[in-house]
Chain A
Amino acid sequence: MIEVEDLTKYYGGKRAIHDLCFRIEKGEIVGFLGLNGAGKTTTLRILGCLILPSSGVVRIDGMDLADSAHEIRKRLGFLPDTPPLYDEMSVQDYLRFVAELKGVSSKNLRRYVGDALATCNLNEVAADNISTLSHGYRQRVGLAQSIVHKPSLLILDEPTSGLDPVQIVEMRELIKRLGGEHTVLLSSHILTEISQTSDRLLVIDRGKLVADGTEESISQQAHGSAQGGVLELEVEGDGDSSAEQARQAIGRVPGVIVARVVSKQARRARLEVECSDDRRSQVARAVVESGLGLLLLQRKALELESIFQRLVHPSHPQPPST
C-alpha cells in the first residue's frame, strides 16, 4: 500500500525529517508518535500529497508520489491539524462540495454524503452552518470530509486534539471502525490515545524514525532483553546520603545494569533499577544489608509513556510513574 524510502524534507536549511523508511500494508491503522516538532505533520503532509519531499521515494499503491500525485489524491482522504472548513456553508453542502471535488459521480453523491453524515453522527447538524458548530462537531465534520469519497487511504493529523474525554472516546471508536475498509494513518503526541487506536506505531523523534512496531515489540526494543525489566523501589534511611548509599549498594549486585535515583524526600528515596533478568531478591538483600529500610520493591509496569521517554531522550532519567 505505502512504501517510503529514505524520505527527507528540508525547510530552508532546517531538516524536518531525515531518511525515513517504512512500509504500511492495506487496512492497517498506523499511529505516528512524536513530540511537537518531531516531523509527524511533515511526514503526513508529504503522504497527503500536500508538499513534495526534498529527497526519497514514496509509493502509494505502486504509484510514485512525485509523478502521480494527481492520481493518488483521488484515493486520499486528508484531515489536517485544523479541519479545512468553509464557515459559511452548511455541513451538508460542504460535504457535497468535497465529494464532488474528489470526483464522486453524481449518481453516488447523495448516498456517499449520507454515509459520511451517518458514520460521523452528524445527521442532527446536517443543515446547520459550520460557523455555528462547537469544536467537537467541527472536528467530526473534518473527519467526515476526509471519508466522504470512501478513499482507500485516510490520513488524520492529530484527530483528537482539543476534544473532551467523551469526544475522544467517540473519535477513537470511529477511527477503529474505519480501519476495516481504509488504511488509516494518524498522528498524536499523546501515547495512550494512539496506542489504543493503532495496530502499529511509528515513533519519530527529531525527524528520525526511532521505533516501528506494536506496543509490545517497541517496549522490548526499548529495553533490550525481554527477560529483563525495571524494578521500582523505595528506601528509607537516616541521612541525606541514603539515596546515594542505596544506589551504590544496588549497583554492586551482579546482573544490575544501572540504578538511578528517581526522587528524594527527607528520609525516603525512590529508585529505579534496570537488570538483565529478575534480581528482586538480590536487590532487596543488598538494600537491607546496607542498613537501609526497604519500603517497596516491585517490577515496574512498562508503560508506553516511559518507553517513549526513553526512545526520545535515552540519556535522561525517567520521570517517576504515578
Chain B
Amino acid sequence: MKPIALIIRRELAAYLRSPLGWVVAAVLLLIDGLAFNVFAVGSDTARKSSEVISQFFFFSGGLAEAAGLFLAMRLIAEERQTGTINLLFSSPVRDYQIVLGKFFAALLFLIGIHILSIYMPLMVLLHGKVAKGHLVAGYLGVVLMGSTGLAIGMFASSLTRSQLVAIVVGAAISVALLLSWLLAPVTDRPFDQFFSWLALWNKHFPSFMRGSISLQDVAYYLSMTYVFLFATTRVLESRRWSS
C-alpha cells in the first residue's frame, strides 16, 4: 500500500506544480460556468430547481469525462518520454501499484476541481429549493464519469510515448463508447442490448442527473474503470518486459 500512497502524493504535487493541472481546472470551471449560465439558468421560461440542477450535472458529467482524458494523457506517456518510468520499473513497486497510484492522484485532483463548482447548484438556493440527495447523486455520477474518463485516458497513455497520440486515442475510445447505443437498433439480439448497455452515457448517466443512485449504473461505471485500469496494467507489464 505504501508505494501507492507515495505515487499519489507525487502525482498530486505534479498536477499542482505543472501548468497542465491548472489549465484543465480553469478550462473545466470556465466552460461549466458558461454552460450553467446559458443553458441551466439562462432560459426565459420559469423552471423547476431540480431541472436546473439536472442540467448542471449534464454539463458537469461530460466535462468530467473530457477533463479525465486530459488529466490522464500525461500519466504514463510522459514518464516513458522522459525516461522516469525506469525509476519506477527498477524500484520495488508493482505495476498495479503504479497504475492505482496515478489513477487516484488524478481522481483526487478531478474531485478537487469539481468541489470548486459547487457554488453553481448552491446559487439555485437563492430562488429555489435544492435537495441534498440530488446533489449527492449528481456529484457521484460526475465523479464516476470522471473516473471512467481517467481510466480510458490512462489506458491510451500507456500505449504511446506521445501525449498527443494518447489524447487522440483516448478521445476516440470515449466517443466510440458514447455512441455505441447508436448501433443497438441496427444489430440483432443479444448485441443490441449489449451495445445499448455499453454506451457511456445513454442508459447510465441520466438517473444520476435526476438525483437517483442506481446500483446498476454505479456498477457499470466502476466496471468500466476497472476494465481500463486492468488493461493499463497489462500494457505496462508487457512494455516492461519487451522494450
Contacts and interface: CB of A to CB of B under 8 A. Distances in A.
A74 interface: yes
A76 B94 contact: no
Contacts of B243: 51
Contacts of A80: 83, 86
Contacts of B93: 101
Nearest to A103: B92
Nearest to B3: A101
Contacts of A170: none
B240 interface: yes
Given A89-B13, A97-B6, A84 B86 contact: yes
Q: Is the interface of A mostly helix, strand, loop or mixed?
A: loop
A102 B91 contact: yes
Q: Please classify how large the interface on chain B is, using the bins under 10, 10 to 19, 20 to 34, 35 or more.
A: 20 to 34
A97 B10 contact: yes
Contacts of A28: none
A50 B86 contact: yes
Contacts of B91: 73, 98, 101-102
Contacts, number: 65
Contact of B90 (A71, A73, A86): A73
Contacts of B242: 51
Interface string A152-189: 00000000000000000000000000000000000000
Nearest to A80: B86
Contacts of B85: 84
Interface in A91-137: 93, 97-98, 100-103
- From A50, A76, A84, A88, residue with most partner B Cβ within 10 Å: A84
Contacts of A87: 82
Contact of B6 (A74, A86, A89, A101): A101
Closest 4 A/B residue pairs (Cβ): A84-B87, A78-B90, A84-B84, A88-B17
Interface of B: 2-3, 6, 10, 13-14, 17-18, 82-94, 240-243
Interface of A: 48-52, 70-71, 73-74, 76, 78, 80, 82-89, 93, 97-98, 100-103, 145
Given A50-B86, A89-B10, A103-B92, 13 more contacts: A50-B240, A51-B241, A51-B242, A51-B243, A71-B92, A73-B90, A80-B83, A84-B87, A85-B84, A97-B6, A102-B91, A102-B92, A145-B87
